[in-house]
Copies of this chain bind each other. A is one copy, B any other.
Amino acid sequence: MALIVQKYGGTSVGTPERIKNVARRVAKFKAQGHDIVVVVSAMSGETNRLIALAKEIQANPDPRELDVIVSTGEQVTIGLLAMALKEQGVDAKSYTGGQVKILTDSTHTKARIQSIDDEAMRADLNAGRVVIVAGFQGVDPEGNITTLGRGGSDTSGVALAAALKADECQIYTDVDGVYTTDPRVVPEAKKLKTITFEEMLEMASLGSKVLQIRSVEFAGKYNVKLRVLSSFQEEGEGTLITFEEDPNMEKPVVSGIAFNRDEARINVTGVPDKPGIAYQILGPVSDANIDVDMIIQNVGKDGTTDFSFTVPKPDLARTIKVLEGVQAHIGAAQIDGDDKICKISIVGVGMRSHVGVAATMFRTLAEEGINIQMISTSEIKISVIVDEKYLELAVRVLHKAFGLDKG
């Protein structure tokens, strides 16, 4: 007898048939005696359809009105799922974000949740009903409809679980859990039974797009037990995201290997090695609204230094243009970029207590003749930039070197 929040994404509710499948799964949990709150996304493709419609009217849609339009996607799904449950003899009631009320700030299209009123939902749960809530949306203090931004349904699920003090928040997706790396690259990749919150954050931000990162942060902040499961498999425990490291538990040194092909590298060479130079280079880039990920500055010699950083691939040309505009001012000898690179990261809380992880990583890559262009480290992660053509090879050999194929 637990209170479980289940979140189903757009693919899981993409057709009437799939909605009926979700209803069957919910009904099964309900029959086991659990109280269930279901959070759903819009049917897959629907949000894009609505945004395209809005853009036919306004190239840059008014944010308030875009939220009015886009929020209808989830509103349709909640009604359909409530019907599907009733059709299976399970009493259910749908709630829009405003009906719950999920109070957010007024930042349309990327609002943040401020509070959730659990009173009405609790009354329905006590009356034996399944509660169905539209994900991704809320209402601001003036009653305007807001949305949480892309992927925000995960955050809705976690926030509802926190507000209701649910025993578990289950995120159903089209994968059955978090893997040691992408199984399409390494067929031997193993599903992780558990992953720590910190590791998940590093994995998510590095491209293992299983969960929206903000939802993981939210779960950590409110200590919500979060589990990733497949909505297309009947059985399976998925991957549980844990928040406390069990000191008695033997943790693997490395939990997973993430990678990212979406970045490009910029080199600014021969700049005067003086205070403020990093800001002079990155300030104009930031002003142009270009996201910067890895940043590396080598120790200088002869009064000059080299400065490197990565940006999203589509922004490479624009970044170089911005820097060429300030090249004379900063006194850089040369500016160049390379978009034929990739980033590979090993992640694991076990690194904290194990020396030599970096050494193993670098040796493994060296043995395959893979040149490392940039290195960046954090407490539980080591990232390297290598030539894009080595991506699959590098991930495979690292996966093996850290024993991840042994499960």
Chain A interface residues (CB < 8 Å from chain B):
16, 19-20, 50, 53-54, 56-58, 61-62, 64-69, 71-72, 75-76, 78-80, 82-84, 86-87, 93-94, 96, 98-99, 143-145
| Interchain CA distance A113-B58 in the complex, whole Å | 33
Q: A72-B75, A76-B69 are in contact. Are A83 and B54 (CB under 8 A)?
A: yes
| Interchain CA distance A65-B82 in the complex, whole Å | 7
9 A-B pairs with the lowest CB-CB distances in the bound complex, closest first: A72-B72, A69-B79, A68-B79, A16-B56, A65-B79, A58-B83, A65-B82, A57-B83, A65-B83
Do the beta carbons of A69 and B65 come within 8 Å of each other? no
Do the beta carbons of B76 and A53 come within 8 Å of each other? yes
Do the beta carbons of B79 and A58 come within 8 Å of each other? no
Do the beta carbons of B69 and A99 come within 8 Å of each other? no
Oligomer copy total: 2
Q: A68-B79, A80-B69 are in contact. Are A57 and B98 (CB under 8 A)?
A: no
| Interchain CA distance A320-B16 in the complex, whole Å | 39
Do the beta carbons of B61 and A83 come within 8 Å of each other? yes
Do the beta carbons of B16 and A99 come within 8 Å of each other? no
Do the beta carbons of A86 and B58 come within 8 Å of each other? yes
Chain B contacts for A87, CB-based, 8 A? 57-58
From B53, B78, B80, A80 is in contact (CB under 8 Å) with: B53
Chain B contacts for A94, CB-based, 8 A? 64-65, 68
| Interchain CA distance A387-B401 in the complex, whole Å | 91
Do the beta carbons of B54 and A99 come within 8 Å of each other? no
Chain B contacts for A62, CB-based, 8 A? 82-83, 86
Chain B contacts for A84, CB-based, 8 A? 57-58
Chain B contacts for A64, CB-based, 8 A? 82, 93-94
Do the beta carbons of A75 and B82 come within 8 Å of each other? no
Within the complex, the shortest CB–CB distance from A390 to chain B, in Å, comes to 47
From B53, B54, B76, A72 is in contact (CB under 8 Å) with: B76
Q: A68-B94, A78-B68 are in contact. Are A16 and B86 (CB under 8 A)?
A: no
Chain B contacts for A53, CB-based, 8 A? 16, 76, 80
| Interchain CA distance A9-B83 in the complex, whole Å | 28
Residue of B nearest to A132 (CB): B65
Within the complex, the shortest CB–CB distance from A95 to chain B, in Å, comes to 9
A and B contact pairs by CB, cutoff 8 A, 9 listed: A16-B57, A53-B76, A54-B79, A61-B83, A65-B82, A65-B86, A69-B79, A75-B75, A96-B145
Known: A16-B57, A65-B79, A68-B75. 15 other contacts (CB 8 A): A16-B53, A20-B57, A50-B76, A53-B76, A58-B84, A58-B86, A64-B94, A65-B80, A65-B82, A66-B79, A68-B94, A69-B75, A69-B76, A69-B80, A98-B98
